[in-house]
A = this chain, B = another copy of it.
Amino acid sequence: MVQKSKKPPSAAKIAAPVAPKRRGRPRAYEPDVALGKALDLFRRDGFAATSLDDLSAATGMNRPSLYGAFGDKRELYIKSYQRYRDDARAAMVDIFRADAPLRERLERIYRIALDIYLSGESGPRGCFTVMTAASEAVSDPDIRAMVLEGLTELDKAFGICFRHAKERGELPDGADPAALAHLASATIHTIAIRARARVPRRELEAIVKGAIDLMCRAN
């Protein structure tokens, strides 16, 4: 159950990613890259339209291995979503924490977001949080909770951003950081959706620019 139950208890403290000398037949796949492939498929087609055969083919693992490594399809979807969130957070956290002017921070956040949403060999894949909200979230309480967490996490990050900017005098006194944060999230959501409709990057950047102009001049 525990993520990394590799090392025998007698192992040295230092080594974590060294070869742990597992007992049986070695794995023919790397769990991390396999999960990445699964995520790619789920992001493109969604939960219901992605079959275990598809996943098996994409990961190179046969079905029993898939099942043994990640559990059933739903569990794999959940793990894929967590992986997506981890990646997205890792890509943005530095920018959210950075001590740069508001406009610059927003520009960098949206650039990263567009990179994520527009990537994909067979068309742009959008935002997995939005996709999951649009599909499984209504019927599956656990997944819905994760989605809600993803949405509020973004709201909060933007909220801190705008509160910080207001304290530094980058925004007028009347500015409402919470409302601005919701607008910043809304802009994320709208470009994620439009990306999947294959709106070209140019146009999405124009939408972002308009939104940033409004948010930076808010009163």
Contact = CB atoms under 8 A, between A and B. Distances in A.
Q: How large is the interface on A (under 10, 10 to 19, 20 to 34, 35 or more residues)?
A: 35 or more
Nearest to A134: B134
A90 to B, nearest CB: 23
A153 interface: no
A167 interface: no
A198 interface: yes
Contacts of A189: 186, 189-190, 193
Contacts of A125: 138
Contact of A197 (B44, B151, B180, B196): B151
A190 B186 contact: yes
A199 B151 CA distance: 10
A20 interface: no
Interface in A169-191: 176, 178-180, 182-183, 185-187, 189-190
A148 B198 contact: yes
- Give this chain's copy count: 2
Nearest to A148: B197
Contact of A135 (B49, B194, B213): B49
Nearest to A49: B48
Interface in A137-166: 137-139, 144, 147-148, 151
Nearest to A147: B197
Contacts of A60: none
Given A46-B135, A49-B135, A210-B176, A190 B196 contact: no
Contacts of A6: none
Interface string A110-128: 0000000000001111100
A124 B148 contact: no
Interface of A: 44-49, 122-126, 130-131, 133-135, 137-139, 144, 147-148, 151, 176, 178-180, 182-183, 185-187, 189-190, 193-194, 196-199, 207, 210-211, 213-214, 217-219
18 contacts: A44-B138, A47-B49, A123-B138, A123-B139, A130-B130, A130-B193, A131-B134, A131-B135, A133-B134, A147-B197, A148-B198, A151-B193, A179-B211, A179-B213, A182-B190, A183-B210, A189-B193, A219-B219
